[in-house]
Amino acid sequence: MEEQDEMALLARAIKGDAEAFRMLYEAHHAALFRIAYRLTSAVEIAEDLTQECFIRLMGRTRFDKERGTLRQYLYGILRNLVRQKQQASGREVEWDAETEVDAASTLVLSADSLASAELSEAVQAAISALPPLQREAIVLCEFEELSLGEAAAVLGTDVGTLKSRLHRAREGLRRLLAPYRGHIATQLGRGSN
Amino acid sequence: MSPLNDNELNSLLEQAKRKSPEPPPQLAARTLRAYEAKVARSISWRRYFLRRVSVPWPIGALAALLFVLIGALTDHSFRQPLTVGGGRASDAALTHPTAVLTFKEFQPVSEIKPRVIRSIRDDQ
């Protein structure tokens, strides 16, 4: 959807045009839901946050197209909502910690538990074991395929810092998912057949 | 156990990406209801208060005149001089406190009874 179209839809939706709101929802809800799920690992919370994201968009008129796209703005709202949710639940207080993944302490992802899990579930468990800032980086860049510049704008950081987080996140995932090497080989074998 | 290499990790991430959960269909209806409840309602209230009402000019002029008259009358009644014993002593105290209060009202304290207040925690 063109940026100008989105701006027009947003203006109409803020004035109470439900059809314009529905079109904005259709354009962005799937990605917002996926990101919310990847960041929280909970479908119900992801639903709530996706909904809240759109309601906040209607409540705020601070969106400035000079500072980024509507998509980036929505991702930014979602990121803040996820933070608030997790800090309120007391799960992750140290959001700004740039700590490394401690493969020995985080797991959940022991070889035994991984052996019975689906690969995608194991990947999600590994993502949720990452420190929050690294998790955001991997979700936006690897799963949603945002460019480094776009992701950095959403996360309110610079590209260099984002690259560093991404590198550390991938390092963490390599270690956390190492017990799954055999399953990868099996899956790849099935895929090639 | 040695970490995965780049290809292995990319393969895993790609598979996980393909299996990303989809938002449930009822989320759209739920979000739309929330939108209508929060946004549309507030807008309808705003419209109610900010709507334009056209009034014929003679009625408007009459209403304006009435407002001016009421204002003048109210102002006049507030400026009525206070009469002694007219039953408005409290009004006099409120509007002219210096006329009622003198230093005679401030008598010295006859007996001081100090009370020490402390927290229960002080005993612990």
Whether A38 sits inside 8 A of B20 (CB atoms) is yes
B39 CB burial (10 A radius; 0-12, 13-18, 19+):
buried
Residue A106's pLDDT is 45
Q: Which of A61, A142, A146 to mutate to test the interface with B (most CBs of B within 10 A)?
A: A142
Whether A22 sits inside 8 A of B28 (CB atoms) is yes
Give A36→chain B minimum CA distance, Å. 10
CA atoms within 13 A on the CB side of B91: 11
pTM of the model: 0.67
Mean pLDDT by 10 residues, chain A (193 residues): 81 89 95 95 94 88 78 93 87 53 47 58 92 95 94 94 96 92 65 48
Q: A-chain residues within 8 Å CB-CB of B15?
A: 119-120, 123, 187
ipTM (interface pTM)? 0.77
Picking from B6, B15, B31, the nearest residue to A25 by CB comes out as B31
Percent of chain B with pLDDT over 90: 16
Whether A173 sits inside 8 A of B27 (CB atoms) is no
CA angle A145, A146, A147 (to 5 degrees): 115
Picking from A30, A38, A55, the nearest residue to B23 by CB comes out as A30
| Complete domains list, chain A, with CATH | 1-93 (1.10.1740.10), 96-193 (1.10.10.10)
Q: What is the mean pLDDT of chain B?
A: 76
pLDDT in tens, B47-75: 666 667 788 888 888 999 999 999 888 87
Q: Do residues A139 and A35 lie in contact, with contact meaning Cβ atoms separated by under 8 Å?
A: yes
Residues in Cβ contact with B32 at an 8 Å cutoff, skipping those fewer than 6 apart: A18, A21, A22, A25
Q: B-chain residues within 8 Å CB-CB of A58?
A: 35, 38-39
Give B29→chain A minimum CA distance, Å. 9
